[in-house]
Every structure is written in structure tokens, then in C-alpha cells.
Structure 1
Amino acid sequence: MNESSENGSSENDSSDGGYAVSAEFYDLLQAETDRRLAERRFAEAATRARHAVLDVGAGTGIVTEVLLRASSVPVHAVEPAPAMRAALLSRLAHLGADQRARVTVHPETLEAAGLAAVADLAVASNVVACLDPPTRRATWKAISAALLPGGLLLFDPPPTDLPAGCEEVGRLGPVRVGPDLYSADVTRRPHRGVLRMVFTYRVEREQELLREAREAFDLWPASPERLTEELEAAGLRLVQAPGADLMAARRPAA
């Protein structure tokens, strides 16, 4: 998961599901992979931005940093989850003063932020799948409002259907910190009509388990046809995406 939403649900050792568990492990296990992915997906579009860039669900700020480095315009980073926002601000603290001066952190949902006609590029990385349908439709409208006429939205689409049963997605790490190895096993399964992703984090020392923590996130599948309908209802028109793993939509020029 990236970067964030407010819709993570708790399981076993997790607390409120708002990334309270995952925030500790996220950058250690995923930052470098996510940075390379963000550079491939969004950097070129950011270089063409002339007004501002909107980062919807900024999470720990990996995508935000890529957008700041690739562009020369203001960046609006929207991150409502306190645990992820703490990591985001820590990342911004290590950037140059000129880059920090260009970023505005919005500590609420995009709808609550009320941004209007500020950006010519919006990106939503690992966010859309985490939104239930009503929230997703409200987010499209908020993105449309935040974009200038002709502005572009890039996002990775949610899954189109549910798995038949529990599936292993993969393993993150291990990454060594001193004598300890940090890792995570990721599984997914259908759960009451949604797809539940479960991250099981482990810290081991000399092949002994020191601690284990788990957090689950619900994902809402949606077909491309459904997404197209929702985007059009929000005033966004589907356009050719720069990569096969992305979808793109544009606010029509006035």
C-alpha cells in the first residue's frame, strides 16, 4: 500500500487500522521500490506541470518527493492519516529549503481540503483501491474541482474482481537493521464483498522472533467501465495513460 487512505481496517495486532502498525515498517520495506515506481509513473508528467501538482494520499511522502524533484511548481500533499503524515513530514524535513517551500501538507481528506482550480496535474498512487464506492466518487469530484481546465489525473486502478480464496501476494524484505531482520508477508482474500490485504510484519534476531504485528486493509474492486462512468460523472474524461499499469483522465479545457 502507499500511500494512504483512511480506510485501513484493523486485524489482530493492529490498532485502529489507520496505518498505526504499517507506518513503522513502510519506508524500511517499500520505499526504494515505491520510489522507482513513482519515478517511472509520474516524473515525466511532473516536469510538464506549469501551475501545481496534487498528490492525493501522499502517505510517507515518497511520491511527493519525486514530484518535488521532477517539477518546479508548488505541490499539494494530501494525507489524512496521522501516522503516515508524521513520516511524510519527517521526509520533508530532510529536503532542501527550496523544495520544502513549494509543498503544502493538507492534513484532511481531499474533499475537506476544498482545493479549487489549483493544479494542472493530479496523481493518486495506491489510493483509489482503498476507497469505498461513495468515497471514491466524492474523491473524483474533489480531484476534478482541484484541477485546472485541461488538467491531467494519473492513478493506478483498483483490482477488477475478487480472488477465489486466500492468496499469497509476496514477501517484503528482509531488511537488516543492526542485528535484526525486518520483513512482511502479504496475503489477500475475499472478505464480505471486498478484497482484504493483510500485512504480517516480523522482527527477528538470530533466527528468533522478537515481535510480530499485523494490519489489514480493505480494497474495493471496480471495473474499467465503472471507473469511466464515475469519472465522466465528475467531469473528467478518460484519456490514454502513459503506462499499462495506469489510468488517466483529463478535465476538459474550458
Structure 2
Amino acid sequence: MCNSEYVVTAEFYDLLQAETERRRAERRFTEAARRARHAILDVGAGTGIVTEVLLAASATPVHAIEPATAMRSALLTRLAALGADQRARLTLDTEPIEAVALEGAADLAIAANVVACLSPATRRAAWQAIGRALLPGGLLLFDPPPAQLPTRRTEAGRLGPVRIGPDLYTADITQEPDRGIVRTVFTYCVERNGHIRRRERESFAVWPASPSRIGAELEAAGLQVVQAPTAELMAARRPAH
């Protein structure tokens, strides 16, 4: 996930985003997971939404990586509700991907909603680590970062409302350029009977990069850009030989 400790966002993430993220993960990653024969690497597992989809779609081990303690707590809560056979297939690492020493461990790597949140140096290190972790012929699927900075502050959307008892939960998302990065701010609000009871904010840095730049970085890490299964994603493969 993104470059933050998620101390605010973890409380609201599943409530406001889980169902949408699950449907999107099923649409984007299920077929690739079904084809995996050795293991799947889930880079930036967050609260485990994609992890759960991968475990359900495949019969292979899944290696999930999530450094943020708050998100990992939610991930473990989700895993507790799964069957023992699925939990037995999961390995959870708490270090960033570039610090996890995996060599030829997986034939599929997924990086959902994470690449844009890596600084250029960290992103390049991540490609190298993923390249080492993939078996020859292994496939990487990921969300590309935005190609360029926005020209001004923009309203990027709203999550919710979701009702719990008398309370309505929402999140407003804004984006603005900030010294070469995109500053994305989530403002979470809890409202009861028309009155705001709580308002919490958390911001994330997003590093834009053009597809050609990402392609050059992947090639430098020994990965070849290939056709992605959907227009939302980019894909790369470790050469078979």
C-alpha cells in the first residue's frame, strides 16, 4: 500500500472501500491467479482484500507483504475468518518488498494500488526485488502511477456514505500538485443527525511517471512489458530464458 502508516485510514478502509475493491480485484486478478502453479506474491497487501481473492481463486501458496502495522492488523482479522486450509497457504511478511529476500519464489506477482505511492528510488528497488522473486516466465500485474501531475487542486471523489446505526461514514478525496508529487488527501467524516461528530484526515504522496518511464525501469530490472489483461493495469514478465 501507500507510503503512510495508515493510522487514520485503517479504521475506515474496509468500511468504505472493501466491496468495491473486492469486485475490482476479482475482475482483474482472478484469471491470472487460477493459472498460477507455484506461488503468488501480493505486494502491499493492505487489509487483505486482494489477498483473500487470490487465496480463493488459486490452490497455490500466497506470499503477502504489508509493512504498515495498522493495515496488517486488519489483514490478520480478515484472515482469521478464512478456513484453516487457506490460512495454511499464506505467508505474511512485514518488511517492504525491497527488503524481502525472495529468489525465484512465485510465478505471479500482484501490486494493487501500491506502485504510485513509491518514490522513484523505492520503485526501482521494488522492480528489482520483484524480478528476483519471479520465476522465469513469471508475470507481474500492477496499477500504473498517474502519467503526470494535475495542474491544480481537484476533487477526486467521495467514498460512502455507509450507515452504521445512527452514524453516516464518508470520505472526501482531493488531489493537488506539491513540489513534483501529487498530494492525495482523504478526509473522513462521521455524521449523526446532521451533526459532524468526527473528522479525520490522512495524506499520501503519489509520484507520477509516464508509461515509457515505467517500461524503462522494468527493463532495467530484467522484466519485459507485455499486454495487460485490462486497460487499467500494466503487466511485465520475467523472460523464460
Q: Normalization by structure 2: what TM-score?
A: 0.99
Q: CA RMSD in A?
A: 0.6
Partner of 2:240: 253
Q: Which of the numbers 23, 41, 60 marks the counterpart of 2:28?
A: 41
Partner of 1:84: 71
Match status 1:116 vs 2:103: yes
Partner of 1:152: 139
Match status 1:189 vs 2:189: no
The letter for the 2-side match of 1:85 is: R
Q: Deviations over 1:126-147 (max 9, x none)?
A: 0000000000000000000000
Q: List alignment gaps of at least 5 residues for structure 2.
A: none
Alignment partner of 2:36: what SS?
A: coil
Q: Deviations over 1:62-109 (max 9, x none)?
A: 000000000000000000000000001110000000000000000111
Structure 2: how far apart are the matches of 1:20 and 1:43?
A: 30
- The number of equivalent residue pairs is 241
Partner of 1:234: 221
Alignment partner of 2:215: what SS?
A: helix
Partner of 2:211: 224
Q: Deviations over 1:6-45 (max 9, x none)?
A: x23xxxxxxxxx1000000000000000000000110100
Shift of 1:112: 1.4
Shift of 1:222: 0.3
Partner of 2:53: 66
Instruction: Point out 4+ residue stretches in structure 1 off by more than 4 angstroms.
Output: none
Q: List alignment gaps of at least 5 residues for structure 1.
A: 9-17
Structure 1: how far apart are the matches of 2:190 and 2:105?
A: 43
Structure 1 stretch 44-53 or stretch 110-119: which is displaced more? 110-119
Shift of 1:164: 0.9
Partner of 1:169: 156
Structure 2: how far apart are the matches of 1:23 and 1:115?
A: 27
Match status 1:98 vs 2:67: no
Shift of 1:179: 1.0
Partner of 1:14: none
Alignment partner of 1:243: what SS?
A: coil
Alignment partner of 2:140: what SS?
A: strand
Alignment partner of 2:150: what SS?
A: coil
Shift of 1:217: 0.2
**Identity in percent:** 69
Shift of 1:173: 0.3
Structure 2: how far apart are the matches of 1:118 and 1:163?
A: 38
